[in-house]
Amino acid sequence: MRLLLVEDDDHVAAALSAVLARHGFKVVHARSGEEALRALLPADQEPFGVVLLDLGLPDQDGYEVCGKIRKRSATPVIMVTARADVRSRIHGLNLGADDYVVKPYDTGELLARIHAVARRRTAGEDTGATPAAALLLGPVRIELPTRRVSVGDQEIQLTRKEFDLLALLAQRPGVVFRREQIISEVWRTSWEGTGRTLEVHVASLRSKLRLPALIETVRGVGYRLVTPSR
């Protein structure tokens, strides 16, 4: 798999590139946002499977780069940054990032997350067009084959993980899903560090759908979807 590493620190990039290469990745290193965007343009090369995007770039903020990538490409983006606060994570996910990893990170966890987002993209491509099927939960409509979500007559833009999380809960409204079960089914990993990512995605869904009571937190257990009234 080709992987685009966007990192302005050559020492960090060299060390990470060596690890990724040992695990079979063909790494292309971009030192700036503009360089990263140029790397995504050629159509005559093997497409990138994943973009690892640092936020502290010399020419433009990584958030801005993520937004530009998402406008021109469906390539999964994993933000890799020292910005650990929840607002930064939510902002990154709202811009279209597929995952958010905080430095310093465990290399094994990063590799697992790379494979997870790549698997989900492949699964989505393999699905193909199928007859429309939708879940209706009050004003919320979730179209599973097309991965579209709307509230009333307004379509809501969700990231892959946000959609997968919402669809999982929506298929059994009222049923409590354990955190470990959600992490296993949506992230396809058992890494303990994913728990914080789950909280961020739940917060992002509540914000985007403007239905804060839609996903209820069951303390010490997990989450369940509460069908809203129209």
Specify the length of the chain in residues.
230
Tokens of 84: 């650990």
Confidence at residue 128, expressed as pLDDT on a 0 to 100 scale: 46
Give mean pLDDT, residues 44-71.
Answer: 89
Task: Domains for the chain: give ranges and CATH numbers.
Answer: 2-127 (3.40.50.2300), 134-225 (1.10.10.10)
Sorting pLDDT into bands at 50, 70 and 90, what band is 184? Answer: confident
Phi and psi at residue 91, to the nearest 5°:
-60, -45
Contact 28, 21 (CB under 8 A): no
Average pLDDT of span 18-46: 89
Whole-model pTM? 0.59
- Count other C-beta atoms under 10 Å from residue 225's C-beta: 24
Q: Which of 26-35, 84-93, 173-182 has the highest mean pLDDT?
A: 26-35
Hey, what are 224's tokens? 């369940």
Whether residue 76 contacts residue 118, with contact meaning beta carbons closer than 8 Å, is answered with yes
- Which residues fall within 8 angstroms of residue 154, CB to CB, at 6 or more apart? none
Are 91 and 71 contacting, i.e. CB atoms less than 8 angstroms apart? no
| Cα–Cα distance measured from residue 192 to residue 209, given in angstroms and rounded to the nearest whole number | 27
HSE at residue 66, side-chain half, CA atoms within 13 A, is 27
* pLDDT band at residue 226 using 50, 70 and 90 as cut-offs: very high
Stretch 150-173: mean pLDDT: 91
* Residue 129 predicted with pLDDT over 70: no
- Rounded distance between C-alpha atoms, residue 25 and residue 20, angstroms: 5
Element (H, E) at 6: strand 2-6
Helix (H, G, I), strand (E, B) or coil at 70: helix
Nearest-angstrom CA–CA distance, 122 and 117: 9
pLDDT for 19 beyond 70: yes
Question: Would you give the DSSP letter of residue 105?
Answer: -
The rounded percent of the chain whose pLDDT value lies above 90 is: 45
